[in-house]
Amino acid sequence: MGVERRPIRRRTVPDHRLPPALHPVLQRVYAARGLVDPDDIGVDLSQMLPPESLLGLARAVEIVADAIGQQHKIVIAGDYDADGATGVALGVLGLRALGAAAVDYVVPHRVTMGYGLSPALARTVHAMQARVLITVDNGIASVSGVAEARALGMQVVVTDHHLPGPVLPEADALINPNQPGCGFPSKSLAGVGVMFYLLAALRAYLRDRGAFVSRPAPRLADWLDLVALGTVADVARLDRNNRILVAQGLARLRSGRARPGLLAMLASAGRSADTLTSTDLGFVLGPRINAAGRLADARIGIECLLADDPLRAAELAATLEQINRERRDIQQGMTEAAITIAERLDPDQRHGVCVFDPDWHEGVVGPVASRLKERLHRPVIAFAPSQQATVLKGSARSVPGLNIRDVIAAVDAAHPGLVERFGGHAMAAGLSLHKSAYPVFREAFNQHCAAAMDPQLRQGWLDSDGPLHAAELDLDTALSLERGGPWGAGFGEPRFDNRFEVLDARIVGGDGSHAKYRLRLAGSGGPELNAIHFGGADRLCRRGQLHALYGLGINRFRDRESLDLRIDYLDAIST
């Protein structure tokens, strides 16, 4: 199959009224993403959406406020990924600061308990003598778990953001912007974002009742670093509201005012906090938190986020670093095997790709599905055996324009009983099924993807912000774009496309997988430009010209900054 050729599509730039003080390239990038007025570009906290339209929020606040007033124990039930871990840490820190005397948390083990609030996890929480159970980043699909918790006498507050199924859990309060009837304008909040809104509304409720007469109200902004990390790591769409949350969290990180655990993780990764970007949240911090939940115990990551002592934070960060290295090694082998499996598929089996190997680790199928999806530009589900040898766990990743949770739901509706359990959102989902059902599911998934995908989606278009002129290919442009973030899902990082002359090309990297270039803009006679194509050794272009889709990177070494082109995709041009 190899690396398929991808067409490049240039974004349309509408008329705009953006401030002339903005860099001209940033103006056109913003306008192409729908920011056309000066009021569109602000990321101040005062511009956040108010919480009042979140359905279920008022009742949830009453329940939690009563628990604080009566000093009842509150237990937060989280998820084992970065969104869940940051949401748990935020909930614990925030509730304690708001006066809760007894706050604890639980996270199900990925292998032994699976995702979400199961009846078994509800019983665990009850054994901790909890009176109130709050879910974060899960619960919308936990119908039986919520029922068990309430039968045991606990009040249950569900906070989640995943898409609901046909039956909602009968919680005492349910907050989810995606639940039926919720008028909250943004449907893109991550789980940690929903928890942040709960804490904000709870603080306002307690303030109105005189809780902070003798002491100052806690500053929730102090924990926006956690909100930013969870939001980006969960690939939540960066609509205006999420951009505000992420921008404010990044500002805290860059100023060194972040949680000690986050600063310790950055130090262990050799990254500087003062130049951190949203990309670093997704590719440096997020994987280290996720690795604990994938291979070990998610509590390691949560305890690192909760740590107030820098020495303790450094110890936990070092453990996360070690686990993440192990995860990378396992993932590399699984990804290579997944590519081999996919290459053997007939073309009519590649509309929606399922891959499975009996030796794979169930905790790493998510990133494997992501890598294969990026390579094929097709929805992918990677499966591995669960602790129950007869049950497979799958992790699904999709391409823009295809809601993968809806596709799995359609398969489930067409083949009742085939899928044992599933949940998720448009771009990512999880599921489990009996090993014997895999061949039928694989065929049904492929057929439903074929029916659901618009033919244009199969082209795998790469979006570009157009070409840059020689005068725009400089450090000033790169710095302006960096400051213009945060960039991420739904608000893509600026990418440009040009023809370049190849002056030098070589393979680099310990595993020989990257390509490094010296380039010159074709026909310009301009300066030489350094460029790197990560994972691009198999498309190395040694001479002539190439057409590249690229971003502007900044190479920082000691106190010096220089421009680097970061190539995402290229085609050699016959001359």
- Average of per-residue pLDDT values in the chain: 94
Q: Are residues 271 and 301 in the same domain?
A: yes
- Examine the domain organization and report whether 312 and 363 are in the same domain: no
The residue count for the chain = 575
Is 205 inside any structural domain?
yes
* Predicted pLDDT of residue 149: 98
Q: Is residue 333 part of a domain?
A: no
pLDDT tens digits for range 424-444: 888 899 999 999 999 999 999
* 430 and 419 belong to one structural domain: yes
SS (H, E, C) 428-443: EEEEEEEHHHHHHHHH
CATH, residue 32: 2.40.50.460
Confidence band, pLDDT 50/70/90 cuts, at residue 2: very low
Q: Is 34 helix (H, G, I), strand (E, B) or coil?
A: coil
219 and 130 inside one domain: yes
Contact indicator for 323, 300 with CB cutoff of 8 Å:
yes
Q: Is the confidence at residue 303, as pLDDT, over 80? A: yes
- Give me the pLDDT at residue 424, please: 85
Q: In which element (H, E) is residue 13 found?
A: none
- Hey, what are 240's tokens? 């205006």
The residue with greater pLDDT, 573 or 273, is 273
Is residue 575 pLDDT above 60, yes or no?
A: no
The pLDDT of residue 3? 52
Look at the chain and report how many structural domains it folds into. 3
Q: What's the whole-number mean pLDDT along residues 342-354? A: 92
Same domain, 417 and 496: no
Mean pLDDT score, 240-254: 97
Beta bridge partners of 463: 9
Residues 48-83 pLDDT 10s: 999 999 999 999 999 999 999 999 999 999 998 999
CA distances from 533 to 246, 488, 540 (A): 27, 20, 9
> Count of CB atoms within 10 A of residue 447's CB?
17
Quick one: pLDDT at residue 526? Answer: 80
Gap between the Cα atoms of 459 and 201, Å rounded: 45
Between the CA of residue 32 and those of 29, 239, 473, 492, what are the distances in Å?
5, 14, 19, 10
User: Are 69 and 12 within one domain?
Assistant: no
pLDDT band, residue 573 (cuts 50/70/90): confident
Q: Does 281 lie in the same domain as 372? A: no
- To the nearest 10°, the Cα dihedral for 339, 344, 346, 351? -20
> What b-and-e string marks burial along 361-375, b requiring 16 or more CB atoms within 10 Å of the CB?
bbbbbbbbbbbbbeb
From the CB of residue 126, how many other CB atoms can be counted at a distance below 10 Å? Answer: 18
Q: Are residues 490 and 372 in the same domain?
A: no
Determine the 3-state secondary structure of 216 from DSSP.
Answer: coil
Question: Do both 515 and 563 map to the same domain?
Answer: yes
- 301 and 197 in one domain? yes
Across the range 443-448, mean pLDDT stands at: 96
Q: Give pLDDT, residue 1.
A: 42
- Of the three residues 416, 444, 459, the one that is the final residue of a domain is 459
Point out the domain boundary residue: 426, 459, 492: 459
Do 309 and 361 fall into the same domain? no
Residue 80: predicted pLDDT: 87
Q: Is the residue at 3 inside a domain?
A: no
Helix-, strand-, coil-residue percentages of the chain, each rounded to 5: 45, 20, 40
10-14, 19-23, 330-334, 451-455: least confidently modelled range: 451-455
Please check whether residue 271 lies inside any domain of the structure. Answer: yes
Distance CA 431, CA 104 (A): 28
> What span, in angstroms and rounded, lies between the C-alpha atoms of 188 and 44?
18
* Domain range for 532: 8-38+462-573
pLDDT tens-digit readout, 484-540: 999 999 999 999 999 999 999 999 987 788 999 999 999 877 889 999 999 899 889
Cβ–Cβ under 8 Å, residues 545 and 502: yes
